[in-house]
Each structure stands twice: as C-alpha cells, then as structure tokens.
Amino acid sequence: MIKMNRTEEPTFLKENKKKWTKKYIKTGKWNSKWYGKSRELLIILKKTTDFHCAFCDDVLSPKGSAKGQIEHFRPKEKYKLLSFSWINLFPICEMCNSTKSDNFDILLLRSDSQNFDFANWFYFDLKTFEIKPNKLNSEWKRAEKTIEIYGFNKQEKLERRAFVFENREQNLSAFRFM
Ligand SMILES: [Zn+2]
C-alpha cells in the first residue's frame, strides 16, 4: 500500500454519475461498460498509482500478474449512492478485489489519504514475506484490519512476493515497498 495520488475527478464521471447511479439503483446492475467508459476510468485510476494495486501494490500492467479492476471502497451493494463516486473508486488487483468482496470496515486505511506512508502503518517481513502492522503506530489495528479484509497475506500473495524478492536483481521489482 503506497500513497495514491488521486487526480481531479474525470469530466465524464462528473457529468454522468447522477444518471448512472440512478440507473444502478433502479436495475441493481453496476456495469459502466454499458456506457463505454469503464476502460477509460480504469486507466485513469491506474495512473494515480503508477499502475499498481492501490492495496497490495502488485503491478497491474504492463508486466504484472493482473490487469486491474475498479474497487468500490465502500461496497456498491451497500452504498449504492457511492457507486460512481470518484473518491470511492480505486485501482485494484483481482485477488484483493475478490478477497474483499462486499466487505467494509470503518477502520480500513485508504492510500489516497493525505501524507499516507507505507512505513507508518506496515512493514514487510523478509523472513515470511508477510505484510504486518507497524505496532509503533497507536492505530495499528487499522493496518491489521486492512491486511485481513484485502487478504494481503494469502498464500498466493506470499509466494508471489517471495518470487519477486528472490528475483529482484532481474528487475522484477513489482512491489514498491521492497
Ligand atoms: Zn492487490
């Protein structure tokens, strides 16, 4: 989780979100492909993280394991009015997205917060390849909750980090916290 530099809300989102949100509430189906804009929106979001998952920091493209999806920080199923809200949207890898599903907790950290810094909240354990909460931070429970809900330490993620770390000289440095 590295600081995300959220840009201005895209004009097409600003202009259409009311209409799209209304449609989502009416039909229960969120799919901006209908409006031909999901690809554009995903690319704009990925630029804010330099093409990394805004949570586990895996590379989303071009050389990553996942192309990326659009995360609704507050799940669209429960917070329908935020389904097209710019500040509710993040670029995310498929694994983080499927693990989180429609879960939400008020403690969750967001990488677009002002002065967000990985080291304030987490550390990378070089022995186990896990991401752990930095308990020097009095609010470390927030880091713990974020790790749990996005599944930062699922087996596949540990294996991927181990592989990237062990081959870091071959310039596979997918994770910016390494
Ligand atoms: Zn991820």
For the entire predicted model, the pTM comes to 0.92
pLDDT at residue 30 tops 80: no
* Contact criterion met (CB below 8 Å) for 24 and 84: yes
Q: Which residues are within 5 Å of ligand 1 (an ion), measured at CB?
A: 53, 55-56, 93, 96
Residue 26 Cα to ligand 1 midpoint, Å, equals 31
> Is 6 a domain residue?
no
Q: Would you state the pLDDT for residue 67?
A: 79
pLDDT at residue 97 tops 80: yes
Range of the domain at 63: 11-170
> Is 1 a domain residue?
no
Q: Give the count of domains, the chain.
A: 1
> What is the C-alpha separation between 167 and 159, in angstroms, rounded?
12
